Homo-oligomer: A and B are copies of this chain.
Amino acid sequence: MKSLLSVAEAEQRIHAHMPSFGTEHVALDAATGRVLRQSVQAERDQPPFDRVMMDGIAIAAGTGTLCSFRRAGLALAGMAEQVLDDPAACIEVTTGAMLPRGCDSVVPIEQTRREGERFVLSDGYEPTPGQFIHPRGADCREGELLLRSGTRIRSPEVAVLAANGVAQVEVAKRPSVTMVATGDELREVDQALAPGQIRRSNDRALAAALATRGFDDVERTWLPDDLNIATQVLAGLLATRQVLVLSGGVSVGQRDFVPAALHALGVQEVLHGIAQRPGKPMWFGIGPQGQVIFALPGNPVSALVCAVRYLLPALEHAIGLTAAPPVKVVLADAAATHPTLTCFIPVDVQHDDHGRAMARPQPSLTSGDFSSLPQTHGVVELAPAAGAAPVGTIAVLHRW
């Protein structure tokens, strides 16, 4: 580990080295949660016609002060345009129908009574031109830009895509990712534990972090503490996967063989060591075919911090997601800072009665303590500073 980079420098270097993973077309039903990589213009005016907003009768209110109208026809939603050619008559209409030509007003059914083939307005009811009509193009005009590339597709975007005839949606491809746990001491979740052994959890937690953001082409594997075996396994992964995320093996100890194994495979180190706590040993490099390799520390909290601060933003940047503005929160308790290291502190966030996002630090004894993380929403980022960050400090939140 050479001189430590700042958090901002590290982020900038990583983003600068991220490849593009391309785009693909998926059926609209499969597009939820994906990142849109096309723009979408209005297919037609919206509404596409003067649209009736109430069940009732359509009349030509602008032509007189009649209070009784002959029923001259019916316009249901979905029918082609009807025509009213007698201003003393009306056309019965339903919500969603095209306003009949010759009409300029809709009277709700509740304001009428039927007398044989006539509709009579309620006593004193005075329809005004334009009422209960949603005019063609009032919401948007044909060709208007409705969705930009880089948008995460949620329910409102699906509504717009569907309404504008986008049956196949161009979205960002998601990279193939393998999570690699390292260490002889690790056993799987369903294996018996001998003294000195612990369960593999980082690879699963990191896969969950990716799944939460919609990255689902994620596999998991494991490396023993053996440079030769590790090199062999990593060679196979580099040949088939676009992103490798290792946890463990990146400190300065004798068993921290990951950088050596990667170097032997032609992976170029881009950074090793960030001025932060936890997560200082973080390593990032680029493979011969542009594969990206994140080697995160092995401590569970460190690994998750590096995932939400670097890995997830880098992948989201690479697939073209428009970055959201930072979420600024208020420290509800003082939190320790460090004179030269950026500190990431797990916090529980609740909105108070003033609409402020109050972040209560849940300090853990060590970066290995993840038992209390389920009570938190993410981490706040505290820049290097002497002393502590007092109550009321504003900090950026990174959600799990």
Contacts and interface: CB of A to CB of B under 8 A. Distances in A.
A146 B374 contact: yes
Given A147-B374, A212-B32, A53 B366 contact: yes
A304 B98 CA distance: 24
Interface in A162-213: 162-167, 183-186, 189-190, 193-202, 204-209, 211-212
A208 B153 contact: yes
Contacts of A151: 374
A167 B155 contact: no
Contact of A162 (B189, B307, B366, B371): B189
Interface stretch (A15-23, A73-81, A121-129, A263-271): A73-81
Contacts of A373: 156, 159-160
A234 interface: no
A203 to B, nearest CB: 9
A81 B196 contact: yes
Q: Which one of A110, A202, A253 has the highest number of Cβ atoms from chain B below 10 Å of its Cβ?
A: A253
Given A194-B80, A198-B96, A356-B354, A157 B369 contact: no
Nearest to A168: B190
A252 B109 CA distance: 9
A113 interface: no
Interface stretch (A6-14, A133-141, A335-343): A133-141
Contacts of A355: 328-330, 356-358, 394
* Number of this chain's copies in the complex: 2
A42 interface: yes
B369 A352 contact: no
A196 B368 contact: no
Contacts of A304: 155-156, 159
B254 A94 contact: yes
A32 B200 CA distance: 16
Nearest to A359: B355
Interface stretch (A43-51, A61-69, A238-246, A286-294): A43-51
A365 B42 CA distance: 17
A28 interface: yes
Given A81-B196, A140-B371, A330 B354 contact: yes
A327 interface: yes
Given A199-B163, A354-B356, A95 B253 contact: yes
B330 A253 contact: no
Q: Which one of A77, A159, A197 has the highest number of Cβ atoms from chain B below 10 Å of its Cβ?
A: A159
A344 interface: no
A279 interface: no
A97 interface: yes
A115 interface: no
A400 interface: yes
Contacts of A333: none
B353 A159 contact: no
A80 B185 CA distance: 10
29 contacts: A32-B212, A33-B211, A33-B212, A46-B369, A49-B195, A53-B366, A76-B225, A78-B184, A78-B197, A78-B225, A79-B184, A81-B196, A134-B366, A154-B209, A154-B400, A155-B205, A155-B304, A156-B205, A159-B201, A159-B208, A160-B373, A162-B189, A162-B200, A164-B199, A328-B352, A328-B354, A329-B355, A355-B356, A357-B357
